[in-house]
Amino acid sequence: MLSLKDTFLFHNGVEIPYFGLGVYKVEDGQEVEATIAEALRLGYRLIDTAALYQNEEGVGRAVRNSGIPREDIFITTKVWNSEQGYENTLKAFETSLQKLGLGYIDLYLIHWPVKGKYNETWKALEELYASGKVRAIGVSNFTIDHLKDLMAQSSIKPMANQVELHPVLVQKELREFCAEHGILVQAWSPLARGRILADPLLTSLAGKHGKTPAQIVLRWHLQNRVAVIPKSVTPARLQENTAIFDFELSAEEMNLIDGLDANTRFGPDPDNVDF
């Protein structure tokens, strides 16, 4: 991992940056547009949004106004739970595509594994992929059991699985399963919403490397081959999050961080999706 330009090659040949910007809870309009403009200036090339976030229009405007060629920016969005099912998903995709106004979407994800619906939703994603309207398709918050069920009933396996993942929820078995099947693991909430950054181990490693605890955690992710989409609207923090390519954690340090695992979630449990 040498730079923000480092990419993962999906099993269909499409490249996705390992490092990007998440825009969950970033207000549509001026806030999201200014945040993305600054991120793109700093070298970010992956922007992750979702129908739920209600800022797809601002994301699209920011990308169009950036002066950067569309093909150089990777855009992810997601179908929300209430819009799942085959026909509903096709309609939801068209709505997101129209709001973004970017011609196509790079990665389209099922946001959560809604029981009884996600397999039909996936059929819609396969059709959208075949049509060329989306360059890659994947899932979010899927467990190993969800993935096994989906792959048993589909012709295309997911290219990505975006999940909650951080040092107190390392998801080792899920990561190993995805690696075995060529599925990229991408971490949302890679910094555990800031709740772990005062941990003595992380602060000690930060002091040793002359970095912040957040930079230590983001570096840990990348060395584990986990893609990250940290969220921030603060220019200084956007820049700080990218300053993780000039140092390396040792194998021992990586193992120590792995040892913080407590199987602790701060977000919902994917096995109990009732929203």
Which active-site residues does the annotation give?
53
Tokens representing residue 257 in the block? 């961080």
User: What are the distances in angstroms from CA 165 to CA 47, 50, 60, 149?
Assistant: 18, 18, 27, 22
8 A C-beta contact, residue 18 and residue 9: no
User: Going by DSSP bridges, is the β-strand pair 46-48/21-22 parallel, antiparallel, or unpaired?
Assistant: parallel
d(CA 153, CA 2) in angstroms, rounded, equals 38
Tokens representing residue 214 in the block? 């957040």
Alpha helices in 12-117 (DSSP H): 30-42, 56-64, 86-100
User: Going by DSSP bridges, is the β-strand pair 160-164/134-140 parallel, antiparallel, or unpaired?
Assistant: parallel
Beta bridge pairs of residue 166:
169
The strand ranges marked E within the chain are 7-9, 15-17, 21-22, 46-48, 74-79, 105-110, 134-140, 160-164, 184-188, 227-228
Q: How many CA atoms lie within 13 A of 3 on its CB side?
A: 4
d(CA 217, CA 105) in angstroms, rounded, equals 29
Rounded (10°) angle between helices 235-242 and 213-223: 40
Task: Work out the number of other CB atoms within 10 angstroms of the CB of residue 145.
Answer: 11
DSSP state of 52: G
